[in-house]
Amino acid sequence: MPNPQRVLADVREPVVVFQVGMRINRLRSVRRWLPAFIAMPRMLHELGVDPALGMLGAKTYLSGRTVMVVTYWRSFEALEAFANAADHSHRPAWTAFYRRSAGSGRAVGIFHETYRVEPGAAESLYVDIPAGFGLGGAVGTIPVNGSLETARQRKDRERSVS
């Protein structure tokens, strides 16, 4: 249910935003892209049930042939530790993907982007959006009041928090 209140993300500590995804370049090459497609939900489940791994939240988006997951992390170190740990689902899935993709004829493309969000370096606003969405869903929200009406005021407030 959408929240009618105007709120903004309450970024008080640095947060890492990690976007990862795949683009299916050859729809008929299902054997090449399906393993990568089904690996992500397993990783997200593993991360969701163990908060100690450092993921704060995630949302999956589909646009045509592209699937993207936006995740929020407590730190880059937590993200890196999960990505490199042989006893978690990412490293084996990544190794298998590279092995399969060597002869795939570019059936699937992958990408990731990593951003560190410092307090005062990002501005957000949510109106009529369900609770738990975006950066605000990962770090919590605070109501927008008279002193936080404009983007400039919100950015200045964020700077004063850090």
Q: Using one digit for the tens of pLDDT, what is the confidence trace for 17-31? A: 999 999 999 999 888
Residue 8's CB is within 10 A of a number of other CB atoms, namely 21
Averaged pLDDT, 33-47 = 86
Confidence of residue 37 (pLDDT cuts 50, 70, 90): confident
Instruction: Tell me what the pLDDT averaged over the chain comes to.
Output: 86
Residue 63: half-sphere exposure toward Cβ, Cα within 13 Å: 5
Task: CATH 3.30.70.100 in the chain: give the residue spans.
Answer: 15-116
43 has pLDDT over 70 = yes
Confidence of residue 157 (pLDDT cuts 50, 70, 90): low
CATH entry 3.30.70.100 includes domain 15-116? yes
57 has pLDDT over 80 = yes
162 has pLDDT over 60 = no
Torsion of CA 61, 117, 109, 47, to 10 degrees: -70
Q: What's the whole-model pTM score? A: 0.84
Residue 11 CA, chain-centre distance (Å), reads 15
Q: Please write down the long-range contacts of 30-39, taking CB distance under 8 Å and 24 or more positions apart.
A: 32/100, 32/101, 32/104, 32/105, 32/107, 32/108, 33/107, 33/108, 35/93, 35/96, 35/97, 35/100, 36/93, 36/97, 36/108, 36/110, 37/67, 39/89, 39/93, 39/97
Tens of pLDDT, residue by residue over 85-129, are 888 777 777 777 667 666 667 888 889 999 999 988 888 899 999
